[in-house]
Amino acid sequence: MVMKVYGAIASTATRRVFATLYEKDLEFEFVPVDLRAGEHKQGHFLARNPFGQVPAFEDGDLNLFESRAITKYVAYAYADKGTPLICEGKPMATVGVWMEVEAHQFDTLASKLQWELVYKPMFGMAKDAAVVEENEPKLAKVLDVYEARLSQSKYLGCDCFTLADLHHLPTLTNLMGTPLKKMFDARPKVSAWVANIMARPAWAKVLAMTNQQ
């Protein structure tokens, strides 16, 4: 049976799952969920994710939600397919650390900035300059840590591309279209890493889906 992703192309969490499936060269069916119509809050979708958030995922009789849990499942369940995305033994512990860093240090700040600088203008809403002013220096400090880490390793988790890097792609790509790009460009190792991971063929396929929307 073909795997199914229930989500929205504009959703960064849905794109995180798309990127993983493309990296693994796996076939899947995309089932669009109409967020504007509130479909994600309706009973048939809540049966898949009781929190009413996209994406939801189906692989045979297995149903999952939470994008990072889905990507981990795909990486382990289909370890022999496509890009490995995970490591064996002790190196995976370090990859796990940086996966946590992405979720709890990077994304908490980047998502707030993304909402103000990307999504609010898209919806015709005025940005809250105070939110940007508060979170921009906090993100800069996180990027300083990234610069130090990437001075020791080509990628965040180890010297190969893993979920620790992939998980950044959706929000990171959105921020590259805002004035915050200068924060990334100002750090040579971070800038090179950004260019590297954004140039991956699997991510180009995700962006192609976005452009077809």
What is the average per-residue pLDDT within 95-99?
98
Contact 29, 2 (CB under 8 A): yes
Q: Is 84 exposed, middle or buried (0-12, 13-18, 19+ CB in 10 A)?
A: middle
212 pLDDT above the threshold of 70:
no
Percent of the chain at pLDDT above 70? 99
- Tokens 């990859």 belong to 95
pTM above 0.85, yes or no: yes
For the stretch 141-194, pLDDT in tens is 999 999 999 999 999 999 999 999 999 999 999 999 999 999 999 999 999 999
Predicted confidence at residue 68, as pLDDT, reads: 98
- Where are the alpha helices (H) located in the chain, listed in sequence order? 12-23, 43-46, 67-77, 90-101, 107-114, 120-122, 129-150, 163-166, 169-175, 181-185, 188-198, 201-211
